[in-house]
Amino acid sequence: MTGSVHIRNKTWSVKLSYKDNTGKWKSKWVVTKHPSKGNKKKAEAEIPALIEQYKYLEHSEIDGSRVLFVDTAKQWLASKQGKVRKSTYEGLKIYVNKHIIPYFEPLKLTLDKITPKHIRDYYENKFRNGRKDGKGGLNVQSIRKHGMVLKQIFTDAVI
């Protein structure tokens, strides 16, 4: 991926050029909000950070990095229907729909952006105030079950 600066609408913009999964060159324009007069070096200084921020665009169809984690969780849950006992499926549905999705959906994280810190923060949140009736957190055993569900979701995503 490469980047270059250009003046558009009296401000500096960065044009990121990258190859998609078919090998074709594509462009992504990012407005820097630096006025065109005397700010070229500031705009150029933003290029490395923008390349890092948008690196998922390269070969994005191959590595699936644009897939949101919550979409993966929903797909995983749907794949379990009919393959596990009804009572098991109902329990998984609660973990995914009432806990995992409501926590991760506002974060809008793609699969490649989730880090161990996100998972630790999720566990901490559930430990402190994970009960749906608002009376505190979940016990350690429940949090372990959440961990098993998350592990299965990630394992399926890798496959």
If residue 73 lies in a helix (H) or strand (E), which one and from where to where? helix 69-80
pTM: 0.56
Q: What pLDDT shows up at residue 63?
A: 45
Calculate what percentage of the chain has a pLDDT beyond 70.
Answer: 92
pLDDT 10s digits, 41-72: 999 999 998 888 777 667 544 444 577 888 88
Q: Name 122's Cβ contacts closer than 8 Å, sequence gap at least 6.
A: 100, 103, 104, 146, 150
Give the mean pLDDT of the chain: 86
pLDDT 10s digits, 81-127: 878 899 999 999 999 999 999 999 999 888 888 999 999 999 999 99
Quote the tokens at residue 7. Answer: 């003046």
Q: Count of alpha carbons within 13 Å of 14, Cβ hemisphere only?
A: 24
User: Rounded to whole angstroms, how far apart are CA atoms 37 and 11?
Assistant: 8
pLDDT 10s digits, 11-33: 999 999 988 767 788 888 888 88
First to last CA, the chain: 27
